[in-house]
Each structure stands twice: as structure tokens, then as C-alpha cells.
Amino acid sequence: MMGVLDLEGVFERTPKAYGVSVEPGTVTALRVALRHWRLGFRNVPNFIDSYHGAVPQVRVRLFALDVGALDVRWTTAG
């Protein structure tokens, strides 16, 4: 049986995950509301505008190749 993915926890830990794998870039995570997070990227040239997948709504704001933000919202099935 597959477990339920804790997306709130995933987004909460995103800055730390990037912090150990991307230098000198920084990532911030702001919980806007339940199932709504805003991620900020600075000096992270990783093509955030190509992210896609299971998250229903992702708004990308790309300010430069290494500066951008993701606004992520999702709903639960059912």
C-alpha cells in the first residue's frame, strides 16, 4: 500500500534540501494558506519554468535565468 505524500512537509523542507545541494543559491518557502506555498529562488539556475507533475496549479514567475518564484496550490482528491 502506498503512503500519502505529505506535500506540506515537502514544501516546508524545500529550502533546506536546496541548501545542501545548490550553492551559492538560496530558496525560500512561505506558506500562504493550506495547500498553497510560495517558493522563491535566487541564484538558482535550474529552469524552474519547466517544473510540472502532480501539482494541479503552479504559477511561475521568472525574473532572470537564476531568479524566480513558484506559486503552488493543490487540492485533495475526493
Q: Is the pTM of this model over 0.85?
A: no
Residues 60 and 49: beta-carbon distance below 8 Å: yes
Q: Omega into 15 within 30° of 0, i.e. cis?
A: no
21 — phi, psi (to 5°)? -120, -15
Please check the confidence at residue 22 and state whether its pLDDT lies above 70: yes
Residue type at 52 in one-letter notation? H
Which has the higher per-residue pLDDT, 53 or 7? 7
Q: What is the pLDDT of residues 31-59, one digit of tens each?
A: 999 888 888 888 876 655 555 454 457 78
10 — phi, psi (to 5°)? -60, -50
